[in-house]
Amino acid sequence: MHTLRLELGERSYAIHSGAGLLQDAEFLRQQIREKRLFLVSDENVARHHLAPVEAALRKSLVGRLILPPGEQEKNLDNLKQIFDALAACGIGRDGALLALGGGVVGDITGFAAASWQRGIRFYQLPTTLLAQVDASVGGKTAVNHPAGKNLIGAFHQPACVIADTDALATLPDREFRAGLAEVIKHALVADREFLTWLERRAQALKQRDPETVAECVIRCCQIKAAVVAADERELGQRAILNFGHTFGHVIEGAGGYGEWLHGEAVAAGMALALELSRQLGNIEVAERDRCLSLMMALALPVLAPDFPKSTWLEWMARDKKSTSEGLRFVVLAEIGRAVLRDDISEQQLRDTLNWRPMDCQ
């Protein structure tokens, strides 16, 4: 097991990553000590991972809610279901929630914890690659609204994160590949050497080599922990972790939640963000194509849907990173370093949206 600590003063917490953690009853009981617990999961995850967690915590687990899987389930109706169940089980301010699943489960459970009785503790038990390398760390919690992704939410840090890398063996190939998009994102925005490491190990990643995957999880958590510790509430530099997401959230929302997995949409969004970075003169064509080649080698989509420009602009205007001055984009200043820009012209944006990856030379 590898443990690192996200330092946030009184909100600091440990991130545990390793094989077999969900099967280790004594370890779970050491980390999760509340006497009244409520668990949220989804049908796919529960089938594989619920039993050992329930067995380990049976003395304190007073209820559970198993949701259908999918991004479309991260909504206000299901949030109300959680609240109704918490009321029925009598979960008070000394209780806690457990989020056993991927990013959807983590987001909605965390937001329920942030809201219930003005905030109670919750634990992240991420079971997808995307959640282990990104979504479970940092305290962003939310549900979607028809007007946009994650528009209703709060910053609420978990009590700790327990990432069992053995759980990744149960992921369908598509879900695993989608998580690799967030892995690449961490390298592009904060660690050039990590990008080289990923290129050299692309085949091992595709084959889910356990040691390679475990190292990926650790390195991404180290990057994210450092960024979040410096800017917990995303007032500035933390926004670099949204590289590709302004475009990606349009793909998810306008395309209908559930049609594209989050990581797939981020991958296609990063392709557009790479081209925008090139247009700004920050990276060369060869550097853009190097990054696209890695994404394609890992079977990630790089071609965004051909939505009307009005659709792109309408959905981007709702983006949480927008300000009264207009849209903010995360672009690369160079590979391994990202910056925020709020001076992108509409023509530059249209040129980016007109670009297609097959244009690469």
Q: Tell me the longest C-alpha to C-alpha distance in the chain.
A: 62
* pLDDT confidence tier of residue 26, bands split at 50, 70 and 90: very high
pLDDT in tens, 88-111: 999 999 999 999 999 999 999 999
Q: Once rounded to an integer, what is the mean pLDDT over residues 268-281? A: 98
Check if 245 is active-site.
yes
Annotated active-site residue in 64, 140, 156, 328: 140
Annotated active-site residue in 73, 182, 252, 275: 182
Q: Report percent pLDDT > 90 for the chain.
A: 92
Whether residue 325 is predicted with pLDDT greater than 80 in this model: the reply is: no
SS (H, E, C) 256-303: CCCCCCHHHHHHHHHHHHHHHHHHCCCCCHHHHHHHHHHHHHCCCCCC
Between CA 174 and CA 176 the distance in angstroms is 5
Between CA 93 and CA 79 the distance in angstroms is 18
CB 151 within 8 A of CB 121: no
Between CA 188 and CA 182 the distance in angstroms is 10
Q: Once rounded to an integer, what is the mean pLDDT over residues 6-17? A: 97
Give residues with Cβ within 8 angstroms of 96, minimum separation 6: 32, 34, 36, 37, 38, 113, 120, 121, 122, 123, 159
Check if 242 is active-site.
yes
Whether residue 188 is predicted with pLDDT greater than 70 in this model: the reply is: yes
What pLDDT shows up at residue 361?
41
Check if 80 is active-site.
no
Q: Is 209 helix (H, G, I), strand (E, B) or coil?
A: coil
**This model's pTM is above 0.85:** yes
Check if 156 is active-site.
no
* pLDDT confidence tier of residue 257, bands split at 50, 70 and 90: confident
Whether residue 131 is predicted with pLDDT greater than 90 in this model: the reply is: yes
Annotated active-site residue in 186, 249, 288, 328: 249
In terms of Cβ atoms closer than 10 Å to its own Cβ (0-12, 13-18, 19+), residue 339 is middle
Domain ranges in the chain are 2-170, 173-359
Q: For the domain 2-170, what is the CATH code?
A: 3.40.50.1970
Give residues with Cβ within 8 angstroms of 165, minimum separation 6: 17, 18, 19, 132, 210, 213, 214, 217
Whether residue 59 is predicted with pLDDT greater than 50 in this model: the reply is: yes
* pLDDT confidence tier of residue 35, bands split at 50, 70 and 90: very high
Give residues with Cβ within 8 angstroms of 196, minimum separation 6: none
* Nearest-10 Cα torsion for 316, 70, 95, 154: 0
Check if 278 is active-site.
no
pLDDT in tens, 197-248: 999 999 999 999 999 999 999 999 999 999 999 999 998 999 999 999 999 9
In terms of Cβ atoms closer than 10 Å to its own Cβ (0-12, 13-18, 19+), residue 165 is buried
Check if 118 is active-site.
yes
Between CA 223 and CA 94 the distance in angstroms is 32
2-170 shares its CATH topology with 173-359? no
Check if 75 is active-site.
no
Which position has the token pair 């759980």? Answer: 167
* pLDDT confidence tier of residue 359, bands split at 50, 70 and 90: low
Check if 219 is active-site.
no
Annotated active-site residue in 234, 252, 264, 275: 234
Q: Once rounded to an integer, what is the mean pLDDT over residues 258-277? A: 96
Q: Which two tokens stand for residue 188?
A: 């592009």
CATH class of 173-359: mainly alpha
What pLDDT shows up at residue 276?
98
What pLDDT shows up at residue 199?
98
Check if 262 is active-site.
yes
Whether residue 309 is predicted with pLDDT greater than 60 in this model: the reply is: yes
